[in-house]
Chain A
């Protein structure tokens, strides 16, 4: 058993453990932290597949930015655990049905001819100076330029929509105008009074 296989098993076991942690932990902050651990471990598994750009980007974007904002929101929520548990028996059949559907679908996919392991031989290891950052860049900006641009426009629309949904200008809110604050001179704020020394 090679070193890489050992690494793969360690990190995939931790990954599955973390994923179980996400859905079993009661505390939402701890669930988010389990998710961070899961992201980190999947990044390492991608790294084993020599997809270093995607692996590092996963850590940079999902662990470093998305999950931080996620935690930011979750930490400020005041989650009461009692009402959450109330409907457990009532929703159990529906939940079980959905879970069973997902399991059946996954088994179906994995057993299918075109997804079986024989059709996917282990990739040939590349040279040390092979840069998949460059390969990805070439593919995105030449062959798939149109799709890439469409995705970018959709994301831009999403950003604008999110801002439009949350921006409310209340008339009684006081705003600072930094331009005016910067323009303030010493004379506007400070008055120097000369007076005799106290005896």
Chain B
């Protein structure tokens, strides 16, 4: 490979990365807008409606506000760790998008171990929270970090087990191949044969992203704002960005693994990238709906749900699935035999 070919490869890859990151940032901005509008509608309010037409410029105004605010570093905090924590929580949230297939051909890195890569990167995200809580040198932040660490580690197990179920049916760790294994119609997607795993995966995903009703890591009423209580300005905004990018990530993964990714639900309508976005938006709506509907879980209830309900459910369904694959029960579980 010559120098210019190498240079061109790097440039082209950077362009592709920008093509993913810039729309992702815009989606995050407008997800916050959608959240406020949806929760407003559920609570019979109007939501933001002053900046721009129907409040459409509100996210831009928020970004400018956060950018121009001062980033305070508390005294007696560990300055380096305090400032690197938001970056540590944002970087994995974005890097995980490298292996997400948007359509049959549109994927940045088509790697064999794509699913493992996503799992590994989402599990690194917890360091941002832990380091932020510890480096702030504040009791509230520290409690928030402790809660978050315990919660994320617990729910990762249920989530991992749910994904093992997907692996068993599709026979591949490559996210593109997982979608291709669901070809057919809406009834060939994995949500139907793996329904319990789908539910467990999605609820664990809500818990992993520290979203309501599992947001005890922030718990305004008890520990003010949890791990990011001492952050302001852009450093705070990075945590916010990471949380929403992770939400979109969980929704996109649910779509890829259980709702057929870019495949169309009805056989005679063509597949395409549009389906992927529609389905992701549909799953994202659940995040907002949950937040407006459910009261916050108590801490012991969260632990009980993760360890005593979800993990047994997933293990049971994995056993059922293994037997079904062994007996080649169609139309789903004979995929591997083909």
Contact = CB atoms under 8 A, between A and B. Distances in A.
Contact of A59 (B120, B300, B304): B120
A71 B149 CA distance: 9
Interface stretch (B125-133, B199-207, B275-283): B125-133
Interface of B: 81, 111-113, 116-117, 119-120, 123-124, 126-127, 130-131, 134, 142, 145-146, 149-150, 152-153, 156, 173, 300-301, 304
A76 B134 CA distance: 10
Interface in A71-89: 71-72, 75-76
Interface stretch (A15-23, A60-68, A111-119, A152-160): A60-68
Contact of A65 (B117, B145, B153): B153
A52 B131 CA distance: 28
Nearest to B301: A178
A72 B149 contact: yes
Contacts, number: 68
Chain B interface, DSSP helix/strand/loop, else mixed: helix
Nearest to B167: A133
B217 to A, nearest CB: 13
B78 to A, nearest CB: 8
A30 B134 CA distance: 10
30 contacts: A29-B134, A33-B81, A36-B127, A52-B112, A53-B116, A56-B119, A57-B120, A59-B123, A60-B120, A60-B123, A63-B123, A63-B124, A64-B120, A64-B123, A64-B126, A68-B126, A68-B127, A68-B149, A69-B149, A69-B153, A71-B149, A72-B149, A75-B142, A75-B145, A75-B146, A76-B146, A131-B173, A133-B112, A133-B113, A178-B301
Given A63-B123, A75-B146, A131-B112, A178 B304 contact: yes
A103 B123 CA distance: 36
Contacts of B134: 29, 71, 75
